[in-house]
Amino acid sequence: MTNPFLCVGGNQLVFDSDLTPEGLAAQYALSLAETDELFVNGGGFWVNEASQGADTSLWGVQAGLKHTFADKSALTGGVSYYDYGNIEGSGPLIGSGFQGNPNSGGKYAGDYNVIEAFGEYGFKLDQTPATVFANFINNTSAATSRDTGWLAGGKIGKCKNPGSWEFSYDYRDLEADAVLGAFSDSDFIGGGTDGKGHRFGCAYQLAKNFQGALTFFLNEKSSDSHDYHRLQADMIFKF
């Protein structure tokens, strides 16, 4: 299914945008007033089916509040909690690597019970839509002290009609034990955790169902003395 949890600004600090979890999820929204909406998202998912022992699972819950101002700008804020079951002492989820997470003897060294705080403010510059957003995360069950991460960024413009455009930027610092690297952004630092740096993006709507985009990652991997630079060019068709 589509990831049921809100990722402000579409950021991928906790979950890669390609992630499609398998399990059950529910979403609920309640209007508290004309200008305020409370929302709650939750779910339970299978992460890995083990041939021996208990399966690895993910349970998550998220709650937030959206307030719309008189000028139609909107402020959203909330918190999330993600609890991975039976991850400590299990083998790698992707191939033979741990995507930056601490490990010992071919097993995950710690658990992942992650608290997230997030915020987003959407507004217009003249008639151009713009958004600023931020995330902070902490793994309360980390095997090491490298247990936090944060991201801040923004967007201006929105690709919709032919000739429309969009620019985006974010900076993040993601420590090795902050989140499960197998589910985090697979493009930042080449995938996983234990790095920091910039992401620049631009997109242009060439036709109704056709969009071109460029993304540049200017990153540093903590475990590597070399910087990490990646340029992506995408042609996106929708039908």
Please tell me the number of Cα atoms within 13 Å of 102 on its side-chain side: 17
Mean of pLDDT values over 207-225: 93
Residue 139 is assigned to a structural domain of this protein: yes
Average pLDDT, the chain: 95
Residue 2 is assigned to a structural domain of this protein: no
pLDDT, one tens digit per residue, over 102-124 is 999 999 999 999 999 999 999 99
Instruction: Please answer whether residues 41 and 64 qualify as being in contact, where contact means their C-beta atoms are separated by less than 8 angstroms.
Output: no
Residue 127, domain CATH:
2.40.160
The pTM of the full predicted model, rounded to 2 decimals, is 0.94
Domain span including residue 78:
8-237
Residue 1 is assigned to a structural domain of this protein: no
Give the pLDDT score at 57.
Answer: 96
Ramachandran quadrant class, 99 (left: phi over 0; alpha: psi -120 to 50; beta: rest): left
Residue 72 is assigned to a structural domain of this protein: yes
Residue 181 is assigned to a structural domain of this protein: yes
Residue 47 is assigned to a structural domain of this protein: yes
Q: What percent of the chain has pLDDT over 70?
A: 100
Count how many domains the chain has: 1
Please tell me which residue, 54 or 157, carries the higher pLDDT value: 157
Residue 43 is assigned to a structural domain of this protein: yes
Residue 126 is assigned to a structural domain of this protein: yes
Instruction: Please answer whether residues 93 and 62 qualify as being in contact, where contact means their C-beta atoms are separated by less than 8 angstroms.
Output: no
Give the pLDDT score at 52.
Answer: 76
